[in-house]
């Protein structure tokens, strides 16, 4: 990303404040703008309002769980192309499958190393930019 471009934006939808702080810290260190929501309902609204470059989605969040929130974002033509990465303590193979079925583009089990989260965010943004450039 050149200096002339705007910073990429990441929305973290996570109810655990410590987790949000850890992922926010590394992402901001690498130049990302980070916005946060503590539940699925406010998270979906935040994504619709800001149209970020990528969403980090916890699955076990209040009001609307991460699966439903992801389905809502993927069903909306305005937000459908925004990559969603499940970032969850649910680490079984069937949990990964459920996240994929809900529309998640990537999946990391917590506790995830912050550098691994950063690498996945960078990969998802690069893939989205490549798809956009190909259109």
User: pLDDT tens digits, residue range 68-92?
Assistant: 999 999 999 999 999 999 998 878 8
Domain boundaries, the chain: 9-134
Write out pLDDT tens, residues 40-63: 999 999 999 999 999 999 999 999
Partner residues linked to 33 by β-bridges: 9
Q: Which CATH superfamily is domain 9-134 in?
A: Response regulator (3.40.50.2300)
- CA atoms of 89 and 92, how far apart (whole Å): 9
* Mean pLDDT of all residues in 7-14: 96
Q: Mean pLDDT score of the chain, rounded to an integer?
A: 92
The pLDDT, as a whole number, for residue 6 is 61
């Amino acid at each position: 990303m050149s200096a002339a471009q705007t910073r990429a934006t990441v929305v973290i939808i996570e109810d655990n404040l410590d987790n949000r702080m850890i992922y926010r810290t590394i992402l901001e260190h690498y130049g990302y703008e980070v916005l946060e929501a503590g539940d699925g309902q406010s998270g979906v609204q935040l994504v619709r309002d800001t149209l970020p470059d990528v969403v980090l989605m916890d699955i076990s969040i209040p009001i609307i769980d991460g699966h439903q929130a992801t389905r809502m974002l993927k069903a909306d033509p305005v937000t459908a192309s925004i990559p969603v990465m499940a970032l969850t303590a649910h680490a079984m193979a069937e949990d990964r499958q459920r996240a994929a079925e809900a529309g998640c583009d990537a999946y990391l089990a917590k506790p995830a190393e912050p550098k691994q989260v950063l690498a996945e965010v960078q990969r998802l943004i690069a893939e989205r930019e490549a798809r956009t450039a190909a259109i």
